[in-house]
């Protein structure tokens, strides 16, 4: 039986308490408002902020790349240090922690901080820690330690941390409380996600009266595979070493990069840039000597997204796509199967009457070439002829820039919007750009402005054009899938938006894969590099590039390709700055990475055949 | 029998005042978290987006419950009680988070079974009181569940469940002297457990001891925060008063932040809305023929009113800190959804009594 009168008593009790609450709030908010304002004004609390552990970083297989552990640290409450006890504390510290130097004591006791972090006491046992606490000014708090488990491997992807500058503080207000901010890589790009919220230690006078624990940052799951990353790094190092040994050059070769993309999603499987650095060095503050030494060799540049190189022959795929899509072949040629005779040079005249001769890299010429063999053997004459036809047909009209439009459509000349900071865009030159440059950078252009020769240079990836390795990888991904999207590292982006490119159909993709396959097989420019794979090489495809540089620099060595033409899973792009021939250096490095990706036993990088 | 049925919201209809108040409380929560969030980003880490997602789940739960008849609930309540008790037992085997075992970690969200234990206990007792003669085995069951929650440790939730059990037995025809006996037993039991529980707490390090030793600081700061809300609240002021230190503003102390932003007027508004809600519920006590429904309503009113009272009392320093959320205002999925269950079942009771407004 339910007793209604008892319910009424209960209701009365609740109503009275609600009224009591309202009266209480009336007294707090209306009657005592002035008292409270005064109290707030007089609050003399000071707050010390305790760093929050940043989020941890994992690779695609949940292997931990970056660890944040909380370890007990000894702090000294400087407000409790006075002239009477300073000597006692100094001696105590000196006696117990022999590694502390006199300069450390100056830092500690002259600090204007409320609390000063003396040292990590994880090595002390429970009793030793307890005995520290017997001294009034000593406090123990957990303090985060960040550790980069793979050192130099993937250092450009992960980035490094350091003290925030004024600008960084404005961009990420929490960073000043944590005392730490991501400076590069995903540490910077995902700063807000990783940083966490600093704890608060509230002081009233010299006593600590309140403590709020820090909230750890969120963990980050990356798309990279640390095993592939390690093998790619090793392969690039080996390749660079071989290039230095075999290549007759005065300059030391030391810079390069590798990009491996998942072809379906655009996820970055691996991204290497050399020289690299160890982010662990930044955790405790890097010495300026070490920093300068690394900085001198550009170790903090991620060349995969910041290195601006002429792409050379790997860029020929843009013209290949244009030729197929627009039916725009060399003069007198109607289809991909028609051939022209390459005699090693191209003589021609422009409307203005100027006579020119362009020499192919292969002196005696490639013989009869069609579109496929022009890619296979990297025949320049074939592509120059296309440029000549564009120029003769469209010079001065809006279609004059058709090649540039195709290039921009593939993402050249703009950033890929990968989730890393400081990405560079490069340039796709055209008449407009040269006109701008005559004013802003007159040293880069001739007074005549944009000429047919510039277009002929552009079509083979030479001249003013600059690209980053990630742009090449992303452009190849678009051409081989028909979809364009931004490459990414954060696994949360697995459903990143893809845009269908209606100028790329399945038939084109088949042709392109077949022709890339010719490059790594007999008569192809990369044949020698992939020969060691035997019949396995039958399924690989790619394009070599040897891009000439101005100003006495060696050529840039390129290779861009896929792990398999029958079932492509990965795009691989390798660049060695000043590495010389793409066939000799970049291709064999890529070959070793592909061996790993396809599960074939690894064989050492071998210096390839010099072509182009 | 009146034939007025509003079929717009769910096939069985919806009581408009219950639904309207449910919406109002959700909107207040969104607005408060909007004020407290620094910018809105479309992901689950943003407190406002998080709460909106929880709210949407709550609406879904509310409407799903209009399909389930009170008779069905009575059929399954014993099994539900067993399930939640097992969940609470399993929970004690998980790794502790911040020194307590209170949540199941389900990726982006945490699931807190004790929030649902509150609701299920109310239904279980109501069913028990209307069906069975003997009341002693009941106490045995409940005692076991309570111990599981105490072992997390979660004193606040245990006290609330204890109080709800007490009031529900109080409105049944039990003799007052038994009630006094139960009360004495429970109080003694609490103290015994507290004593033994304290010994187990050596996993909490020095810092946490320290934290709990200084509750007064947090409460005095939260009082200052409430007070500086004044009549109209600081949300509309240009030169806001700051310099107070209030932890967990979005959960346990959210009412302090609410009072600061919306002032005395805001406080009166939200409390009036809750009183209105309780008056609506009390109508069932007058018109329903089912004792089960009356016990359920008593349990729900007590559960919600007691939570509000305890939450407000702790942030104004009248009671020691317990860590109880404010229903439908504090950030937290389990609390939102379990409160939605209360509103959903209440709604169904109203529909079955042909009350649509």
What integer pLDDT is reported at residue B306 of this predicted model? 94
Q: Across the interface, do A29 and B230 touch by the CB < 8 Å criterion?
A: yes
The CB density around residue B317, as the number of other CB atoms within 10 Å, is 15
Q: Is A13 on the interface with B (CB under 8 A)?
A: no
Instruction: Break chain A into its structural domains and give their ranges.
Output: 49-221, 226-290+298-597
Minimal Cα–Cα distance from B199 to chain A, Å? 19
- Of residues B320 and A472, which shows the higher confidence score? A472
Query: Which residues of chain B does A36 touch, with a Cβ-Cβ cutoff of 8 Å?
Result: 223-224, 227-228
Helix (H) or strand (E) holding B230: none
Which residues of B are less than 8 Å from A24 in CB distance?
316, 318
Per-position DSSP letters for B119-137, written without gaps between them: HHHHHHHHHHHHH-S--HH
pLDDT (0 to 100) of residue A4? 86
In angstroms, the CA B43 to CA A299 distance is: 35
CA distance A495 to A489: 12
Angle between helices B333-352 and B70-91 (to 10 degrees): 160
- Count Cβ–Cβ pairs < 8 Å, chain A vs chain B: 126
Q: What is the pLDDT of residue B7?
A: 52
Nearest CA in chain B to A129: B206
A602 near B CB under 8 A: no
What pLDDT score does B11 carry? 57
Closest CA to B84 of B348, B344, B338, B349: B338
**Is residue B87 scored above 50 in pLDDT?**
yes
Closest to A277 in 3D by CA, of A183, A145, A416, A175:
A183
Q: What is the structure's pLDDT at A250?
A: 72
Per-residue pLDDT band for B247 (boundaries 50, 70, 90) equals: low
**pLDDT for A253-276, tens place per residue?**
899 999 999 999 999 999 999 999
Asked if residue B4 has pLDDT above 60, the reply is no
Which string of b and e fits A88-114 if b means at least 16 CB within 10 Å? ebbeebeeeeeebeeeeeeebeeeeeb
Residue A457 has pLDDT above 60, yes or no: yes
Distance CA A352, CA A338 (A): 30
Q: Indicate whether B239 pLDDT > 70.
A: no
Tell me how far apart the alpha carbons of residues A476 and A501 are, in angstroms, rounded to a whole number. 13
Question: What pLDDT is recorded for position B185?
Answer: 81
Burial (Cβ within 10 Å: 0-12, 13-18, ≥19) of residue A197: middle
Percentage of chain A modeled with pLDDT above 90? 57
Residue pair A242/A212 in contact (Cβ under 8 Å)? The answer is: no
* pLDDT over threshold 70, residue B245: no
Mean pLDDT of A381-397: 91
The answer to which of A59-63, A127-131, A405-409 has the lowest mean pLDDT is A127-131
- Indicate the helix (H) or strand (E) that contains B346: helix B333-352
Of the partner residues B268, B278, B291, the one whose CB lies closest to the CB of residue A22: B268
Interatomic CA distance for residues B345 and B61, integer angstroms? 10
Burial of A64 (0-12, 13-18, 19+ CB in 10 A): middle
A171 touches chain B (CB under 8 A): no
pLDDT at residue B39, as a whole number: 64
Q: Tell me the backbone φ, ψ of residue A72, rounded to 5 degrees.
A: -65, 135
Test B207 with A21 for CB contact under 8 angstroms.
no
Spatial distance between the Cα atoms of A553 and A365, rounded to a whole number of angstroms: 26
The predicted model gives B227-237 an average pLDDT of 79
Q: What is the SS3 assignment for A52-103?
A: CCCCCEECCCCCEEEEEEEEEEEEEEHHHCCCCCHHHHHHHHHHHCCCCCHH
The per-residue pLDDT for range B64-82, each reduced to its tens digit, is: 888 888 888 998 998 999 9
CB-nearest to A40 from B167, B241, B312 is B241
Q: What are the tens digits of pLDDT across the range A56-86?
A: 999 999 999 999 999 999 999 998 998 889 9
Instruction: Give the 3-state DSSP-derived string for A476-490, with helices as H, strands as E and coil as C.
Output: HHHHHHCEECCCECE
Residues in chain B closer than 8 A to A221 (CB atoms): none
The architecture in CATH of the region A226-290+298-597 reads: 3-Layer(aba) Sandwich (3.40)
User: Rounded distance, CA A175 to CA A163, Å?
Assistant: 8
Return the pLDDT at B210. 36
Of B171, B243, B264, the CB nearest to A10: B171
Are the C-beta atoms of B211 and B99 separated by less than 8 Å?
A: no
Compute the average pLDDT of residues A586-603: 92
Q: Give me the residues of A, 460-519, that contact B with CB < 8 A.
A: none
pLDDT for residue B150 is more than 60: yes
Check pLDDT > 80 for residue B186. Answer: no
Name B299's Cβ contacts closer than 8 Å, sequence gap at least 6: B121, B122, B123, B125, B126, B164, B167, B168
Q: Is A141 on the interface with B (CB under 8 A)?
A: yes
Indicate the angle between helix axes B113-131 and B70-91, nearest 10 degrees: 130
The answer to whether residue A27 neighbours chain B at the CB level (below 8 Å) is no
Please give the pLDDT value at position A345: 86
Residue A422 pLDDT greater than 80, yes or no: yes
- B147, B89 in Cβ contact below 8 A? no
What percentage of chain B has pLDDT greater than the value 70?
Answer: 80
What is the band of B237 on the pLDDT scale with cuts at 50, 70, 90? low
Top-ranked range on mean pLDDT: pick from A109-113, A226-230, A369-373, A537-541: A226-230
For B:148-177, CB contacts with A below 8 A are 167, 170-173
Q: What span, in angstroms and rounded, lies between the C-alpha atoms of A405 and A413?
A: 10
CATH number at A49-221: 3.90.1310.10
Q: Is A80 on the interface with B (CB under 8 A)?
A: no
Residue A41 C-alpha, separation from nearest chain B C-alpha, in angstroms = 8
- Contact B237/A at CB under 8 A: no
Whether residue B43 has pLDDT greater than 80: no
Would you say the pTM of this structure is higher than 0.90?
no
How does residue B136 score in pLDDT terms, banded at 50, 70 and 90? low
Q: If you average pLDDT over residues B166-191, what whole number do you get?
A: 82
Q: Which residues on B lie below 8 Å from A210 (Cβ)?
A: 211, 214, 217-218, 245
d(CA A499, CA A400): 26
Residue with the larger pLDDT of the pair A301 and A173:
A301
Asked if B121 reaches chain A (Cβ–Cβ under 8 Å), the answer is no
Pick from A51-55, A356-360, A583-587: least confident: A356-360
Is A70 within 8 Å of chain B by CB? Answer: no
Task: Give the CA-trace dihedral at A296, A302, A305, A309, to 10 degrees.
Answer: 40
Interface with A, mutate which of B171, B249, B285 (most A CBs under 10 A) = B171
- On whether any CB of chain B is under 8 Å from the CB of A16, the answer is no
- Which of chain B's residues have a Cβ under 8 Å away from the Cβ of A18? 271, 274-275, 305, 309
Question: Averaged over A236-250, what is the pLDDT?
Answer: 86
pLDDT in tens, B283-301: 889 888 889 999 999 999 9
Cβ contact, residue pair B309, A17, below 8 Å: yes
Q: Residue for token digits 């066939």?
A: A583
Residue A300 pLDDT exceeds 90? yes
**Environment class of A567 (CB within 10 Å of its CB; exposed 0-12, middle 13-18, buried 19+):** exposed
CA torsion angle B93 B99 B103 B107 (round to 10) = -100
Write down the pLDDT at residue B194. Answer: 61
Helix B113-131 crosses helix B155-171 at what angle (to 10 degrees)?
20
B321 in contact with A at a CB cutoff of 8 Å?
no
Task: Decide if B295 and A2 are in contact by the 8 Å CB cutoff.
Answer: yes
pLDDT at B94 over 50: yes
B 212-231 residues inside an 8 A Cβ radius of A: 214, 217-218, 223-224, 226-231
- For A563-584, how does the pLDDT look when each residue is reduced to its tens digit (9 = 90+)? 999 999 999 999 999 988 888 9
Contacts of B217 in chain A (CB under 8 A): 202, 209-210
Find the CB nearest B245 among A32, A140, A200. Answer: A200
Q: Please indicate if any CB of chain B lies within 8 Å of the CB of A287.
A: no
My answer on whether omega of the bond before B229 falls inside 30° of 0, hence cis, is: no
pLDDT digits (tens, 9 = 90+) for B194-220: 666 543 443 333 334 434 544 467 777
Are A336 and A511 in contact by the 8 Å Cβ rule? The answer is yes
B207 touches chain A (CB under 8 A): yes
* pLDDT reading at B321 higher than 80: no
pLDDT in tens, B109-125: 778 898 999 999 999 99
For a pLDDT cut of 70, what percent of chain A falls above it? Answer: 99
Residue A286 phi, psi (nearest 5): -80, 145
Q: Do B207 and A26 touch (CB under 8 A)?
A: no
pLDDT band at A590 (very low <50, low <70, confident <90, very high): very high
Contact: A2, B274; criterion CB under 8 Å: no
Residue B215: its pLDDT value, please? 47
Mean pLDDT, residues A436-462 taken together? 89
pLDDT for the residue B2: 44
Which residues from A are below 8 Å from B267, CB to CB? 22, 25, 29
Nearest by CB to A7, which of B218, B224, B298?
Answer: B298
Please report the beta strands in A220-267, taking only residues with DSSP state E, as ranges in sequence order: 220-221, 256-262
pLDDT over 90 at B61, yes or no = yes
Confidence of residue B135 (pLDDT cuts 50, 70, 90): low
Interface test with B, best of A7, A39, A199, A220 (most B CBs within 10 A): A7
Average pLDDT over residues B88-95: 85
Apex A314 CA angle, A309 and A320, nearest 5: 135
Mean pLDDT, chain A, rounded, equals: 90
Q: Given this model, what pLDDT does residue B242 score?
A: 61
Asked if the Cβ–Cβ distance from B223 to A142 is below 8 Å, we say: no
A601 pLDDT band (50/70/90 cuts)?
Answer: confident
What phi and psi, each to the nearest 5 degrees, are found at residue B104? Answer: -90, 130
Does residue A41 or residue A541 have the better pLDDT?
A: A541
- Taking all residues of chain B, what is their mean pLDDT, rounded to a whole number? 81
Once rounded to an integer, what is the mean pLDDT over residues B132-157? 76
- The answer for A 188-207 residues in CB contact with B (under 8 A) is 193, 200, 202
């Amino acid at each position: 039986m339910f007793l209604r009168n008892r319910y009424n008593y209960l209701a009365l009790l609740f109503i009275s308490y609600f009224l009591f609450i309202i009266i209480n709030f009336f007294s707090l908010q209306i009657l005592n408002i002035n008292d409270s304002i005064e109290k707030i004004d007089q609050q003399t609390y000071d707050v010390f902020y305790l760093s929050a552990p940043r989020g941890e970083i994992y690779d695609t297989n949940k292997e931990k790349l970056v660890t944040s552990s909380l370890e007990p640290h000894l702090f000294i409450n400087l407000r409790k240090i006075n002239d009477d006890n300073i000597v006692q504390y100094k001696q105590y510290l000196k006696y117990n922690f022999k590694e502390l130097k006199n300069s450390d004591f100056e830092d500690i006791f002259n600090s204007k901080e409320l609390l000063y972090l003396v040292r990590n006491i994880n090595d002390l046992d429970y009793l030793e820690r307890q005995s520290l606490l017997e001294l009034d000014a000593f406090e123990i708090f957990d303090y985060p330690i960040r550790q980069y488990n793979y050192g130099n491997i993937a250092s450009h992807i992960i980035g490094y941390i350091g003290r925030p500058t004024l600008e960084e503080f404005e961009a990420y207000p929490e960073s000043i409380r944590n005392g730490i901010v991501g400076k590069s890589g995903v540490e910077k790009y995902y700063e807000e996600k990783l940083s966490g919220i600093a704890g608060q230690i509230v002081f009233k006078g010299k006593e600590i009266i309140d403590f709020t624990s820090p909230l750890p940052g969120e963990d980050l799951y990356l798309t990279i595979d640390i095993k592939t990353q390690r093998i790619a790094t090793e392969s690039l190092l080996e390749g660079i070493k071989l290039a230095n040994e075999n290549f007759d050059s005065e300059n030391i070769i030391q810079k390069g990069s590798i990009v491996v993309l998942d072809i379906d999603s655009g996820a970055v499987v691996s991204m290497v840039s050399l020289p690299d650095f160890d982010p662990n060095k930044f955790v405790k503050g890097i010495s300026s000597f070490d920093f300068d030494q690394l900085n001198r060799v550009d170790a903090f540049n991620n060349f995969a997204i910041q290195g601006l190189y002429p792409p050379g022959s790997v860029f020929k795929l843009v013209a290949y796509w244009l030729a197929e899509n627009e039916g725009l072949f060399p003069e007198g040629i109607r289809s991909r199967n028609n051939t022209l005779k390459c005699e090693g040079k191209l003589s021609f005249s422009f409307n203005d009457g100027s006579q020119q001769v362009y020499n192919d890299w292969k002196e005696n010429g490639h013989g009869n070439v069609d579109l496929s063999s022009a890619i296979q053997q990297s025949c320049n004459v074939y592509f120059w002829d296309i440029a000549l036809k564009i120029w003769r047909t469209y010079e001065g009209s809006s279609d004059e820039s058709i090649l540039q439009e195709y290039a921009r459509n593939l993402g050249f000349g703009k950033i890929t919007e990968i989730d890393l900071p400081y990405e560079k865009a490069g340039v796709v030159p055209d008449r407009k750009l040269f006109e701008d440059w005559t004013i802003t950078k007159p040293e880069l252009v001739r007074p005549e402005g944009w000429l047919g020769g510039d277009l002929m240079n552009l079509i083979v990836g030479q001249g003013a054009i600059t690209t980053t390795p990630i742009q090449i990888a992303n452009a190849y991904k678009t051409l081989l899938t028909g979809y364009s999207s931004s490459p990414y590292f954060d696994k949360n982006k697995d459903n990143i938006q893809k845009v269908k490119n209606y100028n790329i159909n399945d038939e084109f993709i088949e042709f392109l894969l077949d022709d890339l396959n010719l490059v790594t097989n007999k008569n192809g420019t990369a044949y020698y590099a992939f020969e060691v794979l035997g019949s396995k090489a039958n399924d690989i495809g790619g394009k070599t590039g040897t891009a000439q540089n101005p100003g006495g620099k060696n050529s840039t060595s390129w290779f861009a390709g896929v792990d398999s033409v029958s079932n492509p899973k990965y795009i691989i792009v390798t660049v060695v700055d000043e590495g010389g021939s793409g066939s000799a250096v970049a291709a064999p490095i890529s070959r070793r990475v592909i061996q790993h990706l396809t599960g074939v036993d690894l064989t050492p990088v071998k210096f390839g055949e010099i072509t182009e | 029998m009146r034939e007025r049925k509003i079929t717009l919201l769910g096939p069985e209809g919806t009581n408009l005042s219950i639904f309207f108040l449910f919406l109002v409380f959700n909107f207040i929560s969104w607005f408060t978290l909007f004020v407290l969030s620094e910018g809105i980003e479309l992901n689950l880490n943003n407190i406002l987006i998080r709460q909106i997602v929880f709210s949407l789940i709550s609406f879904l739960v509310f409407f799903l419950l209009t399909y389930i008849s009170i008779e069905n609930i009575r059929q399954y309540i014993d099994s539900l009680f067993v399930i939640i008790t097992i969940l609470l037992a399993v929970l004690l085997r998980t790794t502790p988070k911040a020194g307590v075992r209170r949540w199941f970690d389900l990726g982006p969200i945490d699931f807190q079974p004790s929030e649902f234990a509150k609701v299920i206990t109310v239904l279980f007792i109501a069913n028990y009181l209307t069906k069975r003669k003997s009341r002693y085995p009941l106490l045995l069951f409940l005692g076991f569940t309570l111990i599981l929650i105490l072992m997390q440790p979660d004193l606040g939730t245990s006290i609330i469940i204890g109080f709800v059990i007490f009031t529900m037995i109080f409105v049944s025809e039990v003799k007052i002297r038994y009630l006094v006996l139960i009360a004495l037993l429970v109080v003694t039991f609490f103290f015994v457990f507290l004593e033994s529980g304290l010994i187990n707490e050596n996993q909490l390090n020095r810092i946490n001891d320290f934290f709990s030793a200084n509750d007064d600081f947090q409460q005095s700061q939260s009082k200052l925060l409430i007070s500086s809300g004044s009549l109209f609240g600081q949300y509309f002021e240009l030169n806001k008063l700051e310099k107070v230190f209030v932890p967990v503003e979005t959960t346990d102390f959210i009412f302090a932040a609410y009072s600061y932003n919306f002032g005395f007027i805001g406080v009166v508004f939200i409390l009036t809305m809750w009183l209105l809600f309780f008056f609506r519920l009390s109508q069932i006590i007058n018109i329903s023929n089912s004792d089960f429904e009356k016990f359920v309503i008593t349990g729900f009113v007590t559960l919600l009113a007691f939570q509000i009272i305890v939450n407000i009392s702790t942030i104004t320093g009248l009671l020691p800190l317990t860590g109880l959320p404010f229903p439908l205002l504090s950030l937290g999925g389990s609390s939102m959804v379990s409160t939605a269950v209360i509103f959903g079942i209440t709604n169904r009771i109203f529909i079955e009594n042909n009350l649509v407004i």
